[in-house]
């Protein structure tokens, strides 16, 4: 993964959850052309979260439509049996929630052995406590800034303190010679709050509704992604609050 320092990195990951599911291939091509860094692919099982979305067959179907990494977020329980299926389907990153695995360390190891980057996802009320025990096995930390299950929700401001906490842990790990770890935020991210979220330590931003549901989305995604990137880069004290 790109070891760009957190102070410089801005990675945009449009979430397909808000895309037009009847035209997924086209949507994926459009966000890549508009400058997306990742395709965020939300998997929901109507068990771990109260919604049902897509599985490995759909991941495999969109894979030939893009060259950028597919970033799979598993909101499923149990998680282990699905990991090899998504690795085979072309996922580059696979994230899961610690509550959904009996053996978090083993699941992280399995993801990496299959050649993918391993992500650990934390709900708004899940403490980061276990992270320090597996930091050397994690490539991405995903902080949910809404309760998982649905797009279009409002950013939970308490996530900012947790982002700062995660940033401190990651920076200390990297300073001690550890591998780079991306810090991703997911839920309610938009042009108004992305600067504040980045200032709190995030470097990778999932946005569903703010991309696919933007009022000017019918004119393509270039302007929308450019706007998000510009606001993320604005670290002035005058930026808007979440």
Ligand X SMILES: O=C(CO)[C@H](O)[C@H](O)COP(=O)(O)O
| Active centre residues (catalytic) | 42, 186
Residue nearest ligand X, Cβ-based = 208
State yes or no: residue 93 binds ligand X (CB under 6 A).
no
Q: DSSP letters of the chain?
A: -----TTT--EEEEBGGGS-GGGHHHHHHHHHHTT-S-EEEEEEBSSSSS-B---HHHHHHHGGG-SSPEEEEEE-SS-GGGHHHHHHTT-SEEEE-GGG-S-HHHHHHHHHHTT-EEEEEE-TTS-STTHHHHGGG-SEEEEESS-TT-SSPPP-TTHHHHHHHHHHHHHHHHHTTPPP-EEEEESS--TTTHHHHHHTT--EEEESHHHHTSTTGGG-SHHHHHHHHHHHH--STTSPP-
Does 42 count as an annotated binding residue?
A: yes
Scanning 14-22, 53-61, 214-222, 228-236 for contacts with ligand X by CB under 6 A, the matching segment is: 14-22
State yes or no: residue 202 binds ligand X (CB under 6 A).
no
The least distance separating ligand X from the CB of residue 145, rounded to whole angstroms, comes to 8
State yes or no: residue 152 binds ligand X (CB under 6 A).
yes
The least distance separating ligand X from the CB of residue 83, rounded to whole angstroms, comes to 18
Among 91, 104, 185, 206, binds ligand X (CB under 6 A): 206
Whether the ω angle into residue 172 lies within 30 degrees of 0, i.e. cis, is no
Scanning 15-23, 27-35, 122-130, 215-223 for contacts with ligand X by CB under 6 A, the matching segment is: 15-23
- Give 147 or 165: the residue with its C-beta nearer to ligand X: 147
Q: Which residues contact 126 (CB under 8 A, 6 or more apart)?
A: 97, 98, 99
Among 56, 90, 119, 188, binds ligand X (CB under 6 A): 188
Which tokens is 83 given? 């990991």
Scanning 25-33, 85-93, 143-151, 224-232 for contacts with ligand X by CB under 6 A, the matching segment is: 143-151
State yes or no: residue 73 binds ligand X (CB under 6 A).
yes
State yes or no: residue 153 binds ligand X (CB under 6 A).
yes
Among 146, 160, 183, 214, binds ligand X (CB under 6 A): 146
* Residue numbers at the binding site for ligand X (CB under 6 A): 15, 17-18, 40, 42, 73, 146, 148-153, 186-189, 206-210
- Show binding-site residues for substrate: 15, 73, 149-152, 186-188
């Amino acid at each position: 993964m790109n070891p760009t320092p957190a102070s410089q990195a801005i990675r945009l990951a449009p979430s397909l959850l808000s895309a037009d599911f009847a035209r997924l291939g086209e949507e994926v091509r459009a966000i890549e052309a508009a400058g997306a860094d990742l395709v965020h692919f939300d998997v929901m099982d109507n068990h771990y979260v109260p919604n049902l979305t897509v599985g490995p067959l759909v991941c495999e179907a969109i894979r030939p439509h893009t060259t950028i990494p597919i970033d799979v977020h598993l909101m499923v329980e149990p998680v282990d049996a699905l990991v090899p299926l998504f690795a085979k389907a072309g996922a580059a990153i696979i994230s899961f929630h610690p509550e959904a695995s009996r053996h978090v360390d083993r699941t992280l190891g399995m993801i990496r052995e299959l050649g993918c980057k391993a992500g650990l996802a934390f709900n708004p009320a899940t403490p980061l406590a276990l992270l320090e025990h597996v930091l050397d096995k994690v490539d991405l930390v995903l902080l949910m800034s809404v309760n998982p299950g649905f797009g279009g929700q409002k950013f939970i401001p308490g996530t900012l303190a947790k982002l700062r906490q995660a940033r401190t842990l990651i920076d200390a790990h990297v300073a001690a010679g550890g591998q780079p770890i991306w810090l991703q935020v997911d839920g309610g991210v938009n042009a108004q709050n992305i600067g504040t979220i980045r200032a709190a330590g995030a470097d990778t931003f999932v946005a569903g509704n703010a991309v696919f549901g933007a009022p000017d989305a019918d004119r393509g995604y270039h302007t929308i992604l450019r706007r998000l990137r510009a606001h993320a880069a604005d670290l002035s004290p005058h930026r808007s609050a979440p």
